[in-house]
Amino acid sequence: MTSNSDQSITCRAGCGACCIVPSISSPIPGMPDGKPAGQRCIQLDEHNRCKVFGLASRPQVCLDFNARADTCGTSNSFAFDHLIALEQATAPSN
> Taking residues 61-70, what's their average pLDDT?
92
**Domains of the chain: which residue ranges?**
9-89
For 29-60, what is each residue's pLDDT tens digit?
A: 999 999 999 999 999 999 999 999 989 899 99
**Long-range pairs of 60-67 with CB within 8 A, sequence gap ≥ 24:** 60/26, 61/22, 61/24, 61/26, 62/18, 62/19, 62/24, 62/28, 65/18, 66/8, 67/8, 67/9, 67/10, 67/11, 67/12, 67/18
Q: pTM (2 decimals)?
A: 0.85
24 and 85 in contact (C-beta within 8 Å)? no
Looking at 1-10, 30-39, 84-93, which range is the least confident one?
1-10
